[in-house]
Structure 1
Amino acid sequence: MSHHRIGMIVPSSNVTVETEIPALLARHASATFSFHGSRMRMAKVSPEELVAMNAQRGRCVDELADAGVDALLYACLVAIMAQGPGEHRRVEEAVAEQLAERGLPAALVSSAGALVDALEAMSARRVALVMPYLRPLAEQVVAYLEAEGVEIVDWAALEVGDNAEVGCIPGDRVLEAARSLDLRHADALVISCCVQMPSLPLVPVVEKELGLPVLSAATAGAFCLLRALGLPAELPDAGSLLVASGLVSTSRGHSPS
């Protein structure tokens, strides 16, 4: 059984991604993982704080490089998507260059890029979203995904601006929002388009109830981390994205030696 170190760059007020990603990867049949975090200060999910948070990225990458991680997850979806179309590619390229300067062949995944890639892997071109953000940021997420060729058929924003409060949104509120969406033309539902909004227990339940593939920022992140590490992207009770996905190669980031 192989072992892999996962580095996570997270907003300082985030708690959910450091719960859900380890919970997901602990289910893997042929690998074990340890998790190593570095934090960027952010309390309010506002354009100004997101820009200031992103400016701390370089320090976080250096800290995780010191730990010799095998893969790195830049775990804030909206911080990247709010900067305009294609930003996840620019961020991933910059981080890859920084890691290369340190001589670290780590695989790289961003939450924003992971969601785009997971939807592509599922051939999901018409998608519904549940998001915690205030409406202006939610509209930017919709525009970002549409620029990637994804048609957003319906979406719900829970209008929570305090990031600590996002981590406390109850599952029944997320479920209610999902049930309110018009899913008649959807190929998939993203039940949490945010790594801070808890949703992991809901994914298989809602998938069964609504009868279409359900994923989240966390399940997309886990899928792409496994794929980047060259491991089978198969995890139980995590939705159809992670069922019998098999070994999938990736051209993004750097494969660990």
Structure 2
Amino acid sequence: MLTSWDEQAERTVRIGMLLPWANVAVEGELPRLGLVHTVFHYTRLVPASRTTAVDAAFWHGLRSAVAGGLDALSPVPLDVVFLACTSAGFPTGLAPPALPPAVLTAFDALTGVLTHLGVRRIVLATPYPHTVTAAEAAALAAYGIETTAHTSLGLADGFPAVAAGQIRTLVQHLPPAALRTADAVVLSCTGWHTLPVLAELQQELGVPVFSSTLAMALYAARLAMGEPL
């Protein structure tokens, strides 16, 4: 799908990527997806707490740092800017700072792609704490996307260290009935390395498998086609 959309591009687009300061997965995976008509421009956001674990302080600090990231990217003519953090799109706890209208989160890309493709039932796998995963399922429901089953590693930090085998095992332990009836499998979070398992899981399960990083790439490809989501 991604290659097909990229081949239909009408122009080259430039995408700003605001990365959580400890994220090492996005920069490694996006170039390997092979988009010809998309250029990604990166900068890093350091939350005031200088922490990396997903919690209210991290989300608040990350969203507060967006203005500085936009300033760093301001010389570049960008078509869209992503805050490349999925959980920052559905933070729990106290209301976080609002994002500028021009900034989307990885969660926005995910919901945009799933909605465009008519995906209504998913199974969800994340590295997050279980409460954060449940919050994401609730946030997806607000977009008309039902999470029929979800599972998580229960981690608040250390996502880059999650091995491909752990992701495979996590998905394989989802209820078989939920996997059979799902329109798609979602591997949420930009911080873990999902690219090594996407094609393998899709072939094994017989349904599309989306990651947060893949969703941002698909969103960019639609922009290049002149058909934004």
Q: Smaller-chain TM-score range?
A: 0.7 to 0.9
Q: 1:214 aligns to what?
A: 209
Q: Is 1:39 aligned with 2:32?
A: no
SS of match in other structure, 1:161: coil
Q: 2:85 aligns to what?
A: 76
Q: 1:184 aligns to what?
A: 180
One-letter code of the match for 1:138? T
Q: Is 1:168 aligned with 2:146?
A: no
SS of match in other structure, 2:210: strand
Higher relative contact order (CA 8 A, sep 6+): 2
CA distance in 2, matches of 1:138, 1:34: 28
Q: Is 1:28 aligned with 2:74?
A: no
1:17 is displaced (CA, Å) by: 1.0
The C-alpha deviation readout for 1:118-173, integer Å capped at 9, x for no partner, is: 111221100001101111111111110011111101111111112xx101100100
Runs of 5+ consecutive residues of structure 1 not aligned to the other structure: 97-107, 232-247, 252-257
1:2 is displaced (CA, Å) by: 5.7
CA contact (8 A) 1:38 1:63 kept: no
Indicate how the Cα distance of structure 1 residues 40 and 219 shifts in structure 2: closer, same or farther if over 3 A, else same.
same
SS of match in other structure, 1:189: strand
CA distance in 1, matches of 2:42, 2:203: 34
1:11 to 17, 20, 25: 20
Aligned length: 211
CA contact (8 A) 2:46 2:62 kept: yes
SS of match in other structure, 1:72: strand
Structure 2 length as normaliser, TM-score? 0.84
1:83 is displaced (CA, Å) by: 4.8
Q: CA RMSD in A?
A: 2.1
CA contact (8 A) 1:9 1:40 kept: no
1:109 is displaced (CA, Å) by: 4.1
Q: 2:218 aligns to what?
A: 223
Runs of 5+ consecutive residues of structure 2 not aligned to the other structure: 1-9
Structure 1 length as normaliser, TM-score? 0.75
CA contact (8 A) 2:185 2:208 kept: yes
One-letter code of the match for 1:210? L
CA distance in 2, matches of 1:133, 1:206: 20
Residue correspondence of structure 1 range 70-219 to structure 2 within 5 A:
70-83=79-92, 91=99, 94-96=100-102, 109-162=104-157, 165-182=158-175, 183-190=179-186, 192-219=187-214
One-letter code of the match for 1:74? L
1:55 to 54, 58, 64: 64
One-letter code of the match for 1:128? V
CA distance in 2, matches of 1:155, 1:83: 18
Runs (4+) of structure 1 exceeding 4 A deviation are 1-4
The C-alpha deviation readout for 1:59-81, integer Å capped at 9, x for no partner, is: 11121123333432210110121
Q: 1:250 aligns to what?
A: 228
CA contact (8 A) 1:109 1:224 kept: no
CA contact (8 A) 1:109 1:225 kept: no
CA contact (8 A) 1:109 1:221 kept: no
CA distance in 2, matches of 1:4, 1:37: 17
The C-alpha deviation readout for 1:217-243, integer Å capped at 9, x for no partner, is: 111110001212x23xxxxxxxxxxxx
CA contact (8 A) 2:38 2:220 kept: no
